[in-house]
Every structure is written in C-alpha cells, then in structure tokens.
Amino acid sequence: MKSSKTLKLGAVSLAVLLSTSAHAISFDELFFDQKAGFDAASLMINVNNPDLVVEFENELSPNGMDPGDFPTGTGDGLFDTMTWEGTDDPGDPSMLNIQSFTDDTSPTADGAWGANEWWTITRLTATNNVIFDFGLELWQIDFMANLGIFSGSPRNMGNEVLRDINSVNSLIYDETFNLDCPPPNPIGSTCDDIYRTSIAGFSPLGFSTDDHDYRIDFRLVGLNGAEVLIDQQAGEIQVYTPEIAPGVSMVDIQMQWVKIPKNQVPNPGSLALMSIGLLLVGGRSLRRRLGK
C-alpha cells in the first residue's frame, strides 16, 4: 500500500493520512462531503455590549466517525444558525446561517465534479436587522468543519482519499454605526456591516498517488449583495453585508481540485501566493486595515 500525503499551509485542522493503491492512479472525477457548524461554547461577546442576546438553533447530530460527520465528543454544541439582538430592539433578530453540501446537493453541482471546477461546499447566509445602541465588534465565534474527499460513490471509508477533520476558524462580526460611515463601504448601504475571518484558514489541502499530486483550493464568492475583500496586511477575509432591514446576503465557500504530474509540482512560495489570489473573487485588496 502507498500512503497518500497531505499538503496543507497554515490552516488549523487535522488532515488524516489515507491510503491509495500501489498501482498508478489518475482521477478524472472526485466526490466530497462537507459538514460545518458554529461552536456555541466558543462564543465571546464584546464586553462593551453586555445587553446583546445571542441564541443558537438547529443543533447538529454527530454520528461516530462516518465521513462528513463530527467525531463523537466534538459535535456537542455545534449549530447551523445563530441569532443576535439587543434586549430593547423592536424587530426581528439578525441571523447567520451556515449550510453544508455534498457533491450531490451543492448548488453548483453540474454532472461530475471534474478537475479545475469550482463547486460550493458551504454557504453562509447573513440577515441584518436593526440593532440599537451597539457598535463595532459585537461577537466572535469559532466554526468547525469536517471535509471528506472520495474517489468514488457512494462516499465511504473505502474510497476516501482525504479527510480534513475538526478544522477550526473564527468569525468576528462588526456592527457598524450608521453615521459618518468610513470607507470602504463597497455595497453602498447606509453603512455596510462586516464579518471577518482569517486567510490562513482557507489554505490549500492535498493528497498524492504514485504519478500525481492533487491540490485542493478554496475561495469565497459574494452573492446576493455581499462583497468579499482581502486585507493581506491583517491576514483577513472581510465580508461586507448590506445594512438594510432586513438585508439578506450570501457568501459561498467553494472548492476546486487540480491534478499535477509529479514532475510539475509548484514550489511552496508560488503555491502560497496562488492561494491568496484564489481567495479573492470579484473583490479587491485593502491598502489599510479598517478602523475599529
């Protein structure tokens, strides 16, 4: 048996080494299973916002070590939806929902998942409503994800070529004041709200067979009014959402795989630069970090 290798740059996770046949293998189609949720226990509310009320809905149900599920003991307190509002706010709460997909259910699914095709694995939907007497950083939370990639269907342990389990990244949500809105305000609403996460959490993954290396790339795509910007100096991906009541926007986390013959492996520096470039879709780099 040949052991496949994992290639990961800087993300916080554990990629499990899996096995491939000793024969020369070349994949023309792959399959995936993704599951992600908010870790309620990791929630931190800004001390300047003591009256903020955060609640969680739709707890995920782990089922042992099956691909795409959370291992026993790590699934407790993971939810797909969180809401927040002030105790005196008159309307509906603001909300963030995380939806995960397989290659069968992905909204970008179109036949087989072939090389160099970007498919959505997770969708974040933000709903903004009016919040009074709050501003700047509201809260920070971790979201955890399990990703399995497979050489065949049905997706099972026998044909799994890569498993990235318990990958953790943080989200920070900024509720902007609606007066004297500083640039950038790319959507152009009263004052776009922002949630932020790290570039490092979306670094490439990979596995190998005898003749090829396979690189897994990730990017974020703003939909329905969301705008994605990259602040390389801060190491952040910044998602701007419209300040409307309600303002609904979506961001898709997408994934592609690239097949590289063993004699054409890019050097680590080139791969790192490529990963930063792939993260930005339809956005632009910031020359300075946003004022808090």
Residue 291 maps to a domain: no
Residue 69 maps to a domain: yes
- The token duo for 83 is 């809401």
Give 135's pLDDT tier (boundaries 50, 70, 90): low
> What pLDDT is stored for residue 242 in this prediction?
82
d(CA 213, CA 187): 40
Residue 256 maps to a domain: yes
pTM for this structure? 0.79
Burial of 260 (0-12, 13-18, 19+ CB in 10 A): middle
Q: What are phi and psi of 64, to 5 degrees?
A: 65, -145
Residue 286 maps to a domain: no
Domain containing 101: what range? 2-279
Residue 289 maps to a domain: no
Q: Which of the given ranges, 14-18, 91-95, 203-207, 245-249, has the highest pLDDT on average?
A: 203-207
Tokens 């791969």, residue located: 271
Residue 6 maps to a domain: yes
Per the prediction, the chain carries an average pLDDT of 78
Residue 288 maps to a domain: no
Residue 285 maps to a domain: no
Domain count along the chain? 1
pLDDT at residue 283 is higher than 90: no
